[in-house]
Structure 1
């Protein structure tokens, strides 16, 4: 098929508009992820659940405002979804609430049972200087071959959002290890914004586990660029720097595309035969990006990195593979619209991708991978 040059722009716009929201663009990509028929959010705010908060010493309706941005992991043949929750304070202001992590579980991927109190939260512990009063936000989670669960999350003290680590052997009792860069080069990156830590995984025995490359664990993190860090124990991390001693971005925004405003690490990446597949969150600026998407809209992109050199970008999609379409993805705290990716599991041979919608609820799409 030949297309005249003067019609090329219109042709490309048409291709973009008719491409299915969860389509697979390249052979190395994960997906296509599909929405359930008559899709609805799987986790929504609840008005009646109460928590005795050790920070404020009062009872709070801890998930009455929003429930969003979920991590996910498999334990005992059950999906565990850790989601960020905020209580209603009488105003609708992003960043003005306290965040805690709630938990919902499912044995079939369809029905979810929720715990009535948060399972991870700012407490009267040795991390309160970093977690009071903003809270604990935006988790990702992986498990090691030895059965250690590693949670990356954002500590928010209303001064700096800091990427932090916590570990558990049972998903119930957690040890907080604090900000990951606090001790690196005398705290060089301690007092700057760090968040969204996504540790590389691989499929073993039908489930995702933390992967080692060159005897190290690797983590993609950050916004508005994505950076890289490595660790030998999943607790102490070293950021990848240039020879000048600066953070080296491995993925950046692209003028002219859906990710023209920002990029942010999504769920734990997956090591495949093709390389490391990184699902990432993308923000659009329509003046220099995709006009039809609008400003500040969060969609999902995919990038491929070398399986031997995790900093080496091999390929990248030109279109979002998921974007806000449903009403619940475009209404709530963030009305510009989000499909904010954070949780990914392989459960009974089906991939479940969990995401936050408009900073308000949790959605999920699935992909049945062919043998």
Structure 2
């Protein structure tokens, strides 16, 4: 199955904006290099700034000294968190969390070079409360970087998972009914940007039960009807195992946000214990992984 490297590939810095934690990465393969956007925290009360690191091989990363995104507006006064990045046309689009100390809002920014970002504010001005989250809480979103039936789709949320549609990748409309619910778990949340395969739309997602151990699972949605789940993995594909995944800023967390298919392998980048970045490798495509997991269109 997925083979984890037994050590973190990104650590907090000694005295920079990420001196406390460096985790929850999104990774883009651009011009022969792996570009990582990650969440960094220091001892100043902020819940995050977005840093950038670059790698030739996808394993050894060199950090830029300054963050590429940080707090500016009231809705993100306490921090910007958990980037997920895709390329739509000629621009990169980042979804990220803006946190004001009470509500975690799903926000959007765009860039031509991954360094300079233009913010577009919260994606949904208002969103209903539910069993777990207050009104306005949307937190995270993962965009499929190709259109389906003439529209981009995004899976978002961190209690249930909802779906939203957009023609331009900036203005989104959501459906009120969730497309993926936690069932016996406490919560589910999208992982990296989903993939369109011949089998369907593949969404790796993060999950936690009442014990708050975070694990990674996978679901497949229908290609023609992105609101319909056609398969879910029976068991997690990633879970905390190593001490650095079990003990950190928040214990017992593996949180997947980055995925790159490259050179007949698939690289899974995840946050570990809300402190480090870990890497798991699958020697093959995502479609091959689904078959190994026992995929069938039975739901």
TM-score, normalising length: structure 2:
0.90
Aligned equivalents of 2:179, 2:267: Cα separation in 1: 26
SS of 2:57 mapped into structure 1: coil
Alignment of 1:153-172 (within 5 A): 153-172=96-115
Q: Which has the larger radius of gyration?
A: 1
CA RMSD of aligned residues (A): 1.6
Q: 2:282 matched to 1:367?
A: yes
Aligned equivalents of 1:80, 1:143: Cα separation in 2: 13
Looking at secondary structure, tell me which structure has more strand per residue.
2
Alignment correspondent of 1:48:
15
Cα 1:188–1:268 change in 2 (3 A) is closer
Alignment correspondent of 1:338:
253
Aligned equivalents of 1:225, 1:79: Cα separation in 2: 31
CA contact (8 A) 1:181 1:189 kept: no
Alignment correspondent of 2:220:
304
Structure 2 residue aligned with 1:225, among 160, 172, 191? 160
CA contact (8 A) 2:68 2:117 kept: no
Alignment of 1:208-247 (within 5 A): 210-240=145-175, 247=176
CA contact (8 A) 1:304 1:314 kept: yes
Regions of 4+ moved over 2 Å: 187-191, 347-350
Cα 1:195–1:98 change in 2 (3 A) is closer
Alignment of 1:82-231 (within 5 A): 82-89=37-44, 96-123=45-72, 128-132=73-77, 134-144=78-88, 146-182=89-125, 187=126, 191-200=135-144, 210-231=145-166
Alignment correspondent of 2:293:
none
Aligned equivalents of 1:353, 1:86: Cα separation in 2: 22
- Deviation, structure 1 residue 131: 1.4
Aligned equivalents of 1:355, 1:188: Cα separation in 2: 28
- Deviation, structure 1 residue 111: 1.4
CA contact (8 A) 1:264 1:280 kept: yes
Q: Which runs of 5+ in 1 are unaligned?
A: 1-31, 50-61, 90-95, 201-209, 241-246, 286-294
Cα 1:343–1:324 change in 2 (3 A) is same
SS of 2:3 mapped into structure 1: coil
SS of 1:84 mapped into structure 2: strand
Aligned equivalents of 2:47, 2:137: Cα separation in 1: 18
Alignment correspondent of 1:288:
none
Aligned equivalents of 1:188, 1:254: Cα separation in 2: 21
Summarize deviations over 1:24-78 as a string: whole Å, max 9, x none.
Answer: xxxxxxxx32123xx21011111223xxxxxxxxxxxx11111111111111111
SS of 1:130 mapped into structure 2: helix
CA contact (8 A) 1:220 1:226 kept: yes
SS of 1:166 mapped into structure 2: strand
Alignment of 1:251-262 (within 5 A): 251-255=180-184, 260-262=185-187
Alignment correspondent of 2:230:
314
Aligned equivalents of 1:254, 1:194: Cα separation in 2: 19
Alignment correspondent of 1:93:
none
SS of 2:80 mapped into structure 1: strand
Aligned equivalents of 1:161, 1:110: Cα separation in 2: 30
- Deviation, structure 1 residue 141: 0.6
Alignment correspondent of 1:353:
268
Give the paired residue count: 281
